Amino acid sequence: MGIDRTVTAEDHLQALATGRAAVLETLAQMQLSTLDRSGLDEHTYLMVRLAALVATDAGPVSYRVHLGDSGALVLPAAKVLATLLAIAPVVGSARVLSAASQLTTAGFLAAAPSSVR
């Protein structure tokens, strides 16, 4: 896979940042069989991945790449919340709040109504 020289570096970076880059195919290949090799059930596997994304303060595109690009999170909201609560003492409240925002931006969570506090 070569780099298209007619496309600018900015075009490549924009595609990567929005999850449209050909390099994502390579990343997807890295993901193949990791669930099976881990020996974890799917929900536990996704909760571990969620914890890693939170710990690294990943951006929305990373959440989409690693948790599913369909915009529909496979994990029930209760498991997402439980995972965030479990890791909060380790990663800190700022990372947990950032993760909730990133999950919303990634399209996995609906924006909270202004009355929810």
Residue type, 116: V
Q: Which two tokens stand for residue 33?
A: 């069989």
Whole-number Cα distances in Å, 43 to 25, 34, 48, 114: 24, 13, 9, 30
Print the domain residue range for 71. 25-105
Query: What is the reported pTM?
Result: 0.71
Residue 38 is assigned to a structural domain of this protein: yes
Of 25-29, 56-60, 75-79, 94-98, the poorest mean pLDDT is in: 25-29
How many domains are contained in the chain? 1
**Does residue 4 lie within any of the structural domains?**
no
Q: Is 51 a domain residue?
A: yes
pLDDT greater than 80 at residue 106: yes
pLDDT band at 13 (very low <50, low <70, confident <90, very high): confident
pLDDT per residue as tens digits for the range 31-84: 777 888 889 998 999 999 999 999 999 999 888 888 876 656 778 889 999 999
In a domain, 7, yes or no: no
Nearest to 19 by CA among 77, 58, 73: 58
In this structure, is residue 71 part of a structural domain? yes
In a domain? residue 15: no
Is 29 among the domain residues? yes
Say if 52 falls within a structural domain: yes
